[in-house]
Structure 1
Amino acid sequence: MSDAPKVQLSRLRQIGWSLWDPIGLRELSDGEWRDGGACADEYDGYLLQVVARLRHGASVAEVVAYLEDSEVGHIGLTRNATTGPRAMATVEVVREYLTTIPAGPPKVR
């Protein structure tokens, strides 16, 4: 059994769906974005990358750029006036959340 600090995936999802949600699925679905819903894991990979990058010393600006590039390059959406602010808000809240978890290699639960 490991004593590694645990990152709550449900908390990451709450942050990602409330602040980032580049596709806008939250407004289109009837609660399917919540944990256990059909869309709940849609952004998990991106949010876990945010955690990993912050934990490995990337700057907030670098992680914001990662989310922006993911939205525009990988997801294929057009950059708009909300792209940067949503990414910044998401990274800042994830960064704040990580300060509540002891340092060390994170595990997801």
Structure 2
Amino acid sequence: MAKRPKIKLEPLREIGWRNWNPIGTSLPMDEYDTYLLNAAGQIANGRSDDAVADYLVSVELDQIGLDAAPGIRERALVVASAIRAYVQTLPSR
């Protein structure tokens, strides 16, 4: 069985804060770590960008409790795509 690549938080945080930040205010840098790591893990395990975007939209609506903002799905797809690009740079172990 192939080992999973080591996913680092700093690149995920950069993606999250630049492209996502659903709460939109100053928060601790680790505020979205769990969600971003989950999304990266899903991508590393073969999930599609659409499925990861669905997860991120669910996070905003169901876990964080925000209302559906205009462009929510498009923003989630941008984040999923950026995370995929990052994960693809990781060496396979």
- 2:56·2:76 contact (CA, 8 Å) conserved in 1? yes
Greater helix share, structure number:
2
RMSD (Å), alpha carbons: 1.7
Q: Tell me, in whole angstroms, the C-alpha distance in 2 between the residues paired with 1:8 and 1:52.
A: 11
Q: Unaligned stretches of 5+ in structure 1?
A: 34-38, 105-109
2:73 aligned with 1:95, yes or no? no
Deviations 1:14-50 (A, max 9, x none): 000000000002xxx3xxx5xxxxx000000000000
Match of 1:6, as an amino acid?
Answer: K
SS of match in other structure, 1:103: coil
Match of 1:67, as an amino acid?
Answer: L
**Aligned-pair identity (%):** 38
TM-score (norm 2): 0.89
Q: Tell me, in whole angstroms, the C-alpha distance in 2 between the residues paired with 1:7 and 1:78.
A: 30
TM-score (norm 1): 0.77
Label 1:95 to 1:79 Cα distance change in 2 as closer, same or farther (>3 A).
same
2:47 aligned with 1:58, yes or no? yes
2:17 aligned with 1:17, yes or no? yes
Q: Alignment length, in residue pairs?
A: 91
Match of 2:15, as an amino acid?
Answer: I
Match of 1:66, as an amino acid?
Answer: Y
Q: Unaligned stretches of 5+ in structure 2?
A: none
> Once the 2 structures are TM-superposed, how far is the Cα of residue 4 of structure 1 from its aligned partner?
6.5
- 2:40·2:83 contact (CA, 8 Å) conserved in 1? yes
